[in-house]
Amino acid sequence: MHLYINTTSPFVRLVRLAIEEKGLSDKVKTEIVDPWADPKAFLAANPAGRVPVLTTDDGHQIAEAQLILRYLDQIAPEPTIFPAEDLAATLAIAAPALGATEAATAVIIGRKSSEAFDTDMVGSKRYRTMADGLARLDANLPRDFSDRPDIANFAAVTAVDYIVFRFTDRDWLAGLPSLKAWRERQKGHPSVEATMPYI
């Protein structure tokens, strides 16, 4: 398999966490791409020009992180990302974390078009979504990775780390002691460390 990535994308990170947890690293060749440079082969794989994009061994090209996760869970079922035993509870934790991540990337991308994006009507709502999403996680923590990797802790660690990484003007976890302690406990977990965002 082949995976287009960059080193900062939280959507890429969700997929890479699954690849690590499922022991698929040797089966996926990653290629770093600048999605804003519109490389031809990348655009052919995903006309939206966004990472991640997975090409399967039989040549299917799948964009959208959550679709790629669905595929990886099918071809490598253990450990499952979407545990049947408590699926609704797990998804309910993941949802605000994914929402916070989408909001954070919307701000980063919005700044490319408008310097005032952070404070305009849309930007303000995205900031609120980030803060509220992290607060929701603080009140309803996912499991530790060492207990069970799943979509809830993938989404949580991705949201926390991306927001802290991109928005350095405030201490996002200052008023969220449970989430802060949860994040501390994930330190050293191999998939978490192997997928940290960097520039």
- The site for ligand GSH (CB under 6 A) is made up of 9, 11, 35, 49-52, 64-66, 105, 109
CB of 71 to ligand GSH, least distance (A): 13
Complex with ligand GSH: residue 93 or 176, whichever CB lies closer: 93
CB of 10 to ligand GSH, least distance (A): 6
What is the signed CA dihedral for 160, 35, 19, 151, rounded to 10 degrees?
A: 40
Complex with ligand GSH: residue 65 or 179, whichever CB lies closer: 65
CB of 18 to ligand GSH, least distance (A): 13
Complex with ligand GSH: residue 72 or 176, whichever CB lies closer: 72
| Core vs surface per residue 23-48: b (16+ CB within 10 A) or e | ebeeebebeebebeeeeeebeebbee
| Core vs surface per residue 101-122: b (16+ CB within 10 A) or e | bbbbbbbeebeeeeeebbeeee
Complex with ligand GSH: residue 52 or 142, whichever CB lies closer: 52
CB of 129 to ligand GSH, least distance (A): 15
